[in-house]
């Protein structure tokens, strides 16, 4: 019964190598009975799953993808039952969001087969609290972002460098930089990363082809993943695309929801809902002043694209200041830090540090009664006083 799935698994796993493994693999507790790995298309979820299967499991494990023809006539629950009866122990399910009854059947598998471990991947848009069954008490999810600058150096240039902690960056940046070495000048490498180094698949593509594929990632995320997760019609998706296009022209963007709603000919609540769904899908980063939890559908105080590669894909000439702030927010959040908008300054990190982000000419001057703890500066190779190079924040994961 399962022979076609085992045969397909062997075809997929054969070319997989462990030369480069994402840093998230070290942060995952792989022993949990059920958990998921979410992320944008193209960030490497399938590769991460296959690497774990090939180099850590093999015995009593099975990798499947739910768009395999086997599932035209069979269910996930039937798969789990047959696999469990044959002595299977670890079931790896790729792209679970494409399976219509994913939440109910995962719940039934968890409850009905206590000896079976289930690891699944999904679109960023998947919410384990939604669907027909709330899985939040049975499974947690990890988010796989795009490459950090550190991971980009390892994958694109075969140059391994250590992860650094944020506290070390703030207390000993100069020492850290002196201990690092690069396969060339750091700033040209960093600026290439900002343009076309966030997604692993860029390594094997010409730059022009990469941006074609990146726009396909954006469109498929909207037309397939978000439409499926939120039950959106083609008309809804067209409006969301228009909204993303409007935002891309001016991010970072301090939103006037009423003005946006008027321009888009939509209701205020609809615009706000679309913004939150674009963030959930991994296309935007929304920033808030409050650090004490964000109420559902609260209006964001500032809007960013999720990563700088999107800036180049969606804009003809991205603003340099926008790229700096987009990169900083992206790397801090994927490293697990809380980032909010301060009353004065650019970013407030972990309720401890106020940060200003800018170019090398930025002065340490703030509005009255406010002074940034650190200036994070682009086009700066090394650190001095309270000035830290922007690129160093790409070593947090």
Distances (CA, A) of 246 to 29, 33, 126, 309: 40, 43, 25, 17
Indicate the range of 131-135, 301-305, 325-329 predicted with least confidence.
131-135
More confident residue, 30 or 362: 30
Pair of tokens at residue 227:
């439409």
Q: Which residues contact 326 (CB under 8 A, 6 or more apart)?
A: 251, 252, 285, 304, 305, 307, 308, 311
List, for residues 248-258, the tens digit of each pLDDT value. 988 898 999 99
Q: Are residues 156 and 139 in the same domain?
A: no
Concatenate the DSSP letters of all residues of 150-196 into one string.
HHHHHHHH--------HHHHHHHHHHHHHH---SS-HHHHHHHHHHH
Residues 93 and 11 sit within 8 Å (Cβ to Cβ): no
What band does 184 get if pLDDT is binned at 50, 70 and 90?
confident
Is the dihedral angle over the CA atoms 303, 309, 312, 314 positive or is it negative? negative
Residues 307 and 146 sit within 8 Å (Cβ to Cβ): yes
Nearest-5° Cα angle at 233, 227 to 239: 90
Is the dihedral angle over the CA atoms 101, 106, 111, 143 positive or is it negative? negative
Of 209, 124, 368, 226, nearest in space to 244 by CA: 226
Strands of the sheet containing 117-123, edge to edge, are 61-65, 90-94, 117-123, 34-39, 140-143
Q: Which residues contact 232 (CB under 8 A, 6 or more apart)?
A: 226, 240
What band does 107 get if pLDDT is binned at 50, 70 and 90?
very high
Q: Are residues 389 and 248 in the same domain?
A: yes
Largest CA distance in the chain: 72
Domain containing 94 equals: 3-143
Number of domains in the chain: 2
**Where a domain ends, among 86, 109, 143?**
143
Q: Are residues 100 and 164 in the same domain?
A: no
Q: Are residues 328 and 239 in the same domain?
A: yes
Q: What average pLDDT score do residues 202-227 get?
A: 96
Q: Are residues 106 and 251 in the same domain?
A: no
**Where a domain ends, among 90, 115, 143?**
143
What CATH number is associated with residue 92?
3.40.50.300
Does the predicted model carry a pTM greater than 0.75?
Answer: yes
Residue recorded with tokens 């469109």:
219
**What span, in angstroms and rounded, lies between the C-alpha atoms of 367 and 95?**
48
**What span, in angstroms and rounded, lies between the C-alpha atoms of 157 and 202?**
13
Q: Are residues 125 and 156 in the same domain?
A: no
List, for residues 368-393, the tens digit of each pLDDT value. 345 789 999 999 999 999 999 999 99
Upstream peptide bond of 252 is cis (omega within 30 degrees of 0):
yes
Residue 240 C-alpha from the chain's centroid: 20
List, for residues 84-104, the tens digit of each pLDDT value. 999 999 999 999 999 999 999
**What span, in angstroms and rounded, lies between the C-alpha atoms of 228 and 334?**
25
**Where a domain ends, among 143, 167, 187?**
143
Concatenate the DSSP letters of all residues of 188-251 into one string.
HHHHHHHHH-SSGGGGGS-HHHHHHHHHHHHHHIIIIIIHHHHT--HHHHHHHHHHHHHHHTT-
Q: Are residues 250 and 127 in the same domain?
A: no
What is the pLDDT at residue 316? 87
List, for residues 39-60, the tens digit of each pLDDT value. 999 999 999 999 999 999 988 9
Q: Are residues 109 and 257 in the same domain?
A: no
**What is the 3-state secondary structure of 313-327?**
HHCCCCCHHHHHHHH
Q: Are residues 217 and 93 in the same domain?
A: no
Residue recorded with tokens 């002043």:
289
Q: Are residues 195 and 123 in the same domain?
A: no
Q: Are residues 337 and 235 in the same domain?
A: yes
Q: Are residues 214 and 102 in the same domain?
A: no
**What span, in angstroms and rounded, lies between the C-alpha atoms of 301 and 62?**
45
């Amino acid at each position: 019964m399962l022979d076609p799935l085992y045969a397909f698994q062997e075809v997929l796993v054969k070319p997989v190598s462990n030369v480069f493994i994402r840093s998230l693999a070290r942060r995952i507790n792989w022993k949990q009975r059920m958990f998921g790995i979410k992320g944008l298309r193209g960030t490497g979820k399938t590769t991460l799953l296959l690497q774990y299967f090939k180099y850590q499991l093999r015995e009593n494990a099975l990798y499947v993808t739910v768009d395999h023809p086997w599932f035209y006539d069979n269910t996930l629950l039937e798969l789990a039952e047959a696999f469990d009866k044959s002595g299977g122990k670890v079931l790896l399910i790729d792209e679970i969001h494409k399976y219509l009854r994913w939440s109910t059947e995962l719940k039934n598998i968890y409850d009905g087969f206590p000896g079976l471990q289930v690891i699944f991947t999904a679109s960023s848009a998947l919410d384990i609290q939604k669907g027909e069954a709330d899985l939040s008490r049975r499974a947690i999810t990890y988010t796989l972002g795009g490459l950090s600058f550190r991971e980009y150096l390892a994958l694109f240039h075969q140059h391994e460098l250590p992860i650094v902690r944020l506290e070390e960056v703030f207390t000993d940046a100069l020492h850290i930089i002196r201990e690092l070495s690069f396969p060339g000048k750091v700033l040209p490498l960093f600026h290439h990363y900002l343009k076309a180094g966030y997604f692993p698949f860029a390594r094997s593509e010409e730059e022009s082809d990469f941006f074609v594929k990146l726009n396909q990632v954006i469109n498929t995320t909207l037309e397939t993943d978000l439409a499926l997760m939120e039950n959106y019609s083609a008309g809804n998706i067209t409006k969301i695309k228009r909204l993303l296009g409007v935002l891309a022209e001016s991010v970072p963007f301090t939103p006037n929801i009423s003005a946006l709603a008027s321009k888009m000919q939509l209701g205020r609540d609809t615009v706000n809902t679309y913004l939150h769904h674009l963030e959930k899908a991994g296309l935007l980063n929304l920033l808030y002043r409050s650090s004490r939890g964000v109420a559902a559908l609260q209006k964001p105080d500032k809007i960013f694209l999720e990563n700088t590669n999107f800036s180049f894909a969606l804009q003809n000439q991205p603003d340099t200041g926008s790229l700096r702030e987009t990169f900083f927010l992206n790397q801090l959040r994927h490293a697990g830090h809380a980032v909010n908008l301060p009353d004065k300054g650019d970013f407030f990190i972990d309720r401890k540090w106020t940060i200003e982000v800018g170019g090398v000419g930025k002065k340490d001057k703030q509005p009255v009664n406010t002074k940034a703890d650190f200036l994070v500066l682009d086009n700066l190779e090394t650190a001095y006083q309270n000035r830290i190079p922007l690129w160093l924040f790409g070593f947090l994961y």
